[in-house]
Amino acid sequence: MSVLIARLVPGFAGSARPGGRSLSLAAAGLALLMVLSAATAVAPTPALAASTIAARCDGVSLRARPSSTSRLYRTLKAGTKVVAVAKVSGSRWSVRCGGVSSSGSSWYRLTSINGRSVKSLYGVSYVYGAAALFKSVITPVALETACSGVSLRTAAKTSATRKVRLAAGTLVTGYGTVTGGAWSTTCAGKALSGTSWRRITHVNGKSVKTLYGVSYLYAAKGLFRAAPDASSPETKPTPTPAPTPDTGYTEGIDISHWQGTIDWTKVAAAGKRFAFMKASEDIDYIDPTYTTNRAKAKANGLYVGAYHFARPSNATGDAVAEADHFVDTAMPVSGELLPVLDLEDDGALSVAALQTWVRDFLGRLYVRTGLRAAIYVSPGFWSKYMGNTGWFAANGYTTLWIAHWEPAAGVPTLPASNWGGLGWTFWQYTSGGTVPGISGRVDLDRYRSGDFTPVLIP
């Protein structure tokens, strides 16, 4: 032990020599304890590959060392993305984040904040944050079924209710994987088994909330493969006939990456005068086609607008984080259509909680842009998950984009007492339209006027 202390604490061994520097045993013991504590504070647990994670709530502290008493560099807003390169053990912390209290001694070692290196920001190689204050960033991926008969179920187990069986080549969006019940099957001639399940949010470009009334469906992970290039005609769903457009309305479309490469010259020549396009989803997803579609549609004389696909959550600050992500991605400018909140997922929130989430999102967007955004929703969703509230129509959110496909009466059903007597502004009247310049199905929309001034950003 004295040899170890001598190596760790210079001068201790010399204290026994005549005329040597004296160090008491108590002091040596204290010095050793400090050295060992410092070593423990940065002892790494199993290394991580560099991965992007996000702050769970507002006020997440980033410090110089994995210690709650070390220098504080900054606090993060909910949804701020950082890059973690390791998880290390440090001093113990106790926090409350997103309504949940937790404690521990694990810290993330971070090298980047919102795409900027810690080195360039603060002149240090790393900063540290308590592990419980972060969550994984899940990026949606485009997949297709590898064989026929792929079951989508309400939970990650074979005994859960099956909502649909998909044909081979059906396009879906996977939103991460989960561990669930064991499964065993044969697909494309291969015997497969496992306990990993894909969490599915879209089928052929339509949310499972709209199609089946649930936020997610689940399917055995081994039954999918990466989707081919979305611009390939063979990956597109078979088009279905669309209603003949009524006169007196202005015709347009709404699109996302599901439409692949678009010939906007042909779209304009077909008489489409406006296009809404997906810009973002949740706190991190960016539609890869947004920038290109926005520029080319405008170049061909169409009015363009951006929409955000909402992923409501009860995490503290989630609505604000999603609104910030939308504004930062869409970058709305004068002359474009009003930005849109696309509301199709209730996030398993109560009616009151979802109403609050929507108010917080729209309020944050107003603070950032000065704009009262449009709301895209179906009459059934608004009635069931938003309690058919008339608050939004009565408080400045007058632009309703209603999604009601091919109604029997020939006109859309409207929630919230005909949207406070204001009626619809945009109407998505079919998901099965065909338009020159676009391969496969596309949503068709109408604007109830020929004068776009009321719905343009000043």
Contact of 97 with 316, CB cutoff 8 Å: yes
Q: Choose the catalytic residue: 282, 344, 346, 445.
A: 344
Token pair, residue 82, equals 């950082």
User: Could you count the other beta carbons within 10 Å of the beta carbon of residue 71?
Assistant: 12
Contact of 370 with 339, CB cutoff 8 Å: no
- Alpha carbons 346 and 200: distance in angstroms, whole number: 15
Q: Catalytic: 344? A: yes
Q: Choose the catalytic residue: 251, 254, 345, 443.
A: 254
Own/partner contacts of 6-11, CB < 8 Å, gap of 24 or more, are 8/32, 8/35, 9/35
Q: Choose the catalytic residue: 284, 342, 345, 346.
A: 342
Q: By C-alpha distance, which of 167, 254, 274 is closest to 205? A: 254
Q: By C-alpha distance, which of 235, 257, 239 is closest to 171? A: 235
Residue 152 backbone phi and psi in degrees, to 5: -105, 125
Q: Catalytic: 443? A: no
Q: How far apart are the first and last CA of the chain?
A: 76
* Cβ neighbours of residue 179 closer than 8 Å, sequence gap 6 or more: 156, 195, 196, 197
- Alpha carbons 123 and 365: distance in angstroms, whole number: 33
Contact of 199 with 219, CB cutoff 8 Å: no
- Alpha carbons 453 and 182: distance in angstroms, whole number: 57
Q: By C-alpha distance, which of 274, 279, 292 is closest to 337? A: 274
Q: Catalytic: 342? A: yes
Write out the catalytic residue numbers: 254, 342, 344
